[in-house]
A and B are shown apart, each in its own frame.
Chain A
Amino acid sequence: MSETETTGESSHVEAVLMDDDMVDAVKKKLGVGFWIAVGWLGLLVATAVLAPFLPFDDPDKLASGPARTGPSLDNWFGTDALGRDVFARTVYGARVSLVVGFIAIVFGMVVGGSLGMIAGYFRGRVDQLISFLFFTLLSFPGLILALLITSTFDRTLRTVSLTLGVLAVAPVGRLARAATLVFAEREFVQAARVIGARHFRILTRELLPVVLIPMAALALLGMGVAIVAEGGLAFLQLSVEDISWGVIINDGRGIRDLQENPHVALMPIGVMFLTILALNFAGDRVREYFDVRETAF
């Protein structure tokens, strides 16, 4: 065997390896789009959190500029019928909308996630009961259930967020259950069982970390859904009494408002669209990045 041949072969092997690595590297990239989406969400969250300290107008201040004017240097998104600054309202609306979306999905993850994992891990009767609960929850058209709760209780931020959280329980729970069913059969869980680990330990230490990955992708998508659902409730006059995106858009959608100053509705719609787009895109990328099917087998 000559030296050149050996090096040739090893370099060939290396090339193959490198190719595989590169394929992996290409596949495992989240991509520029993902970071743009994250950047937008980061900017939005930062602006929303820091809003009181930034030089924005008071969102409720009347005659912040002349009424019903289009976008200008003073009022970036123009003013509404009462002369309130639409940009400031959109920023303050983001505070409410983002909080609602966040609380809703965290509630869904905690309650739905635990129920789903318990169902998938213990199976049998427990599974039947919990699956039936999910099935019943999903049998309600989502918005109707939300309508039912906010109309019987009140319209505080807490009620609205938790209501939408209840809606997230079934979809998140189903995913957690399905993922747990698959992973519970895997060697690392069997091994933990064999060495006598308690159920609680297996659930939290072995299963939770792997189930959390597909749930993270769903959480991003779910947050978008919750923000949209809050907007829907606002259109039915059943959302928070505070300013949220839904409330602002609903305020600006009257025929006269749309005719004379469409920006009152269209500007927040634009911001909302970009946010939902960013959440959907980021969620999609995360799901592809941690391809569940691939890790399952």
Chain B
Amino acid sequence: MKQFILRRVAQLALVFFSVTFLTFASLNLVGDPLFNIVGVISGIPDEQCEAVERGEMEDTQSSGLNLGDCALIAQAKAQNNLDKNVVERYGIWLSDMMRGDFGTSFVNGDEISDIVKERLPVTIRLIVLAQTVALGIAIPWGVASAYRANRGFDKASTIGSFGLLSIPNFALGVILLYFFTLRWQIFPSRYENDGWWSELKALTLPAFTLGLGLAATYQRLLRTDLITTLQDDFIHMARAKGMSDRHIMYRHALRPSMFSVITVFGVNTGALIGGALVVEQIFSIPGVGTELVEAVLRNDPPVVISLISVVAIGFVLINFFVDLMYGYLDPRVRTS
């Protein structure tokens, strides 16, 4: 077990560095962050500024500030470490981020850590709620269809789950929005946060949008595992002792049948994060997703990098813990 944990920690570290570096590099190598800070004067060729530095040329002044263009560029570069190479900047950025300092937005100068603090909890609540909805539906559903496998209810739910898995989450979101908010007006059409009740109401439809497809996935897995478990001797034993079917299903059969669901739980959280970004757009939820899209549209690399990194790190950590838990629950995994 100890070796298993050590190997997973090493893997975690490697993945962590590759994920953050990839994110950082891709947004720094493509596009010009300097342009976002100083505007068009970032187009001034380096040779011209070098000539100014050597005193061979007068610095141009198109920005309307007291500072010359080249001086302005140099200042911006120094402030944002843009004069260093990508690997160095990655190191600085990473160590800053570890201490909770994400830097500031290039566009409006907002502290990114404030943005993260404000937006992340909303998205996390949405994802937790979606997982709750998914498990809350999948467990009774899976138990009911495995209880009488291949009978009417089971066959109907196979069709049902197949259909649910074929609806893209944004399509389901639009459908739910249309019926529950616009036609029947059960749920509010905009996000409000005066207390937990109004937030719960606002997050219910998005959570169902994300959770229904997931419920279908979990139900399929749970059903298969339950059918296998129900053939075990200890189930016959329990039945012979005269325990009620409900007691056998929920108390005896359910727990050993949860392995597959737990395995995909971590992976699906990643899919949920992606899905949450889209669903947040549909229901105008002020979470990480809406902020990320706004940052992309206003071309604000520091914000984009920070948000993507936070999400990616969260995802890597979740999978790490799910792996550990899985290794703890099922000894066979530790050696593979």
Query: Measuring CB to CB, which residues of chain A are less than 8 angstroms from any residue of chain B?
Result: 132, 135-136, 138-144, 147-149, 151-153, 224, 228, 231-232, 235-238, 246, 249-250, 253, 255, 258-259, 262, 265-266, 269, 272-273, 276-277, 280-281
Contact = CB atoms under 8 A, between A and B. Distances in A.
A249 B278 contact: no
Contact of B174 (A139, A238, A258, A280): A258
A152 B15 contact: no
Given A265-B174, A266-B178, 20 more contacts: A132-B14, A135-B11, A135-B15, A139-B19, A141-B273, A141-B311, A144-B277, A147-B292, A147-B308, A148-B26, A235-B278, A236-B281, A238-B293, A253-B282, A262-B178, A265-B178, A266-B175, A269-B171, A276-B166, A277-B163
Interface residues of B, number: 48
A281 B162 contact: yes
Nearest to A250: B170
Contact of A259 (B19, B167, B182, B277): B182
A277 to B, nearest CB: 4
A231 B315 contact: no
Given A136-B19, A148-B27, A273 B271 contact: no
A235 B169 CA distance: 11
Contact of B15 (A139, A259, A265, A277): A139
Nearest to B284: A255
Interface in B243-292: 267, 270-271, 273-275, 277-278, 281-282, 289, 292
B57 interface: no
Contacts of B289: 236
A149 B19 contact: no
B30 interface: yes
B interface, over-half SS: helix
Given A236-B278, A253-B177, A231 B168 contact: yes
Contact of A149 (B26, B165, B182, B297): B26
B19 A140 contact: yes
B319 interface: yes
Contact of A237 (B18, B165, B297, B315): B297
Contacts of B178: 258, 262, 265-266
A216 to B, nearest CB: 19
Contacts of A269: 171, 174-175
Given A232-B168, A237-B297, A246-B170, A139 B315 contact: yes
A6 B55 CA distance: 113
A249 B296 contact: no
A280 B162 contact: yes
A219 B179 CA distance: 34
B136 interface: no
Given A236-B277, A269-B174, A280 B166 contact: yes
Nearest to A136: B18
Contacts of A132: 14
Contact of A272 (B14, B18, B168, B271): B168
